């Protein structure tokens, strides 16, 4: 009987651990750099949600580009510069939607990172691959966004 209780307890522990592991598979491991990257992405999104172009610019490298591959029914690739993007936020062509941001994955490569992000809003849901660069002062800045509309 004692052996049966030990086996039952062991099985319960293994079950609990496997449930915990499967729950965390879709979450980004939050080391200090991933926290910084996630903070930049969330702050960028919030600034866009309220059409605060000045604040949004703080999170963009001067070389920032949005690369839209056949987005919104287009049959071609369209590239938008930082200046164009910020203007569209400022004039409310883009932005103005309350979005939930989910950073699904971050891949680090030295001072460069790529994040797979979902921006779920009332107007639309975007799945983006975002590239960030770490500058000489240690700040992460967005340098490109390649969105798709879900």
The answer to whether position 82 is within a domain reads yes
The answer to whether position 14 is within a domain reads no
Q: What is the pTM of this model?
A: 0.79
Q: How high does pLDDT run on average in the chain?
A: 86
The answer to whether position 136 is within a domain reads yes
68 lies in which domain range? Answer: 32-149
The answer to whether position 21 is within a domain reads no
The answer to whether position 46 is within a domain reads yes
The number of domains in the chain is: 1
Going edge to edge, which strands form the sheet with 77-81? 77-81, 60-69, 140-149, 125-134, 112-121, 99-109
Which are the contacts of 20, defined by CB distance < 8 A and separation ≥ 6? Answer: none
Query: Could you report the per-residue pLDDT of 52-89, keeping only the tens digit for each?
Result: 999 999 999 999 999 998 877 888 999 999 999 999 99
């Amino acid at each position: 009987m004692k052996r049966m209780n030990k086996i039952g307890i062991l099985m319960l522990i293994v079950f609990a651990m496997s449930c915990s592991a499967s729950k965390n598979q879709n979450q980004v491991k939050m080391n200090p750099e991933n926290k910084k990257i996630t903070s930049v992405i969330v702050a960028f999104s919030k600034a866009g949600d309220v059409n605060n172009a000045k604040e949004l610019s703080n999170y963009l490298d001067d070389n920032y580009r949005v690369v839209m591959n056949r987005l919104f029914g287009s049959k071609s690739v369209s590239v938008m510069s930082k200046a164009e993007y910020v203007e569209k936020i400022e004039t409310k062509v883009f932005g103005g939607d309350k979005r939930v941001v989910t950073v699904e994955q971050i891949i680090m490569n030295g001072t460069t990172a790529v994040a797979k992000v979902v921006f779920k809003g009332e107007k639309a849901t975007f799945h983006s691959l975002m590239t960030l660069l770490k500058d000489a002062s240690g700040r992460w800045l967005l340098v490109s966004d390649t969105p798709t509309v879900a």
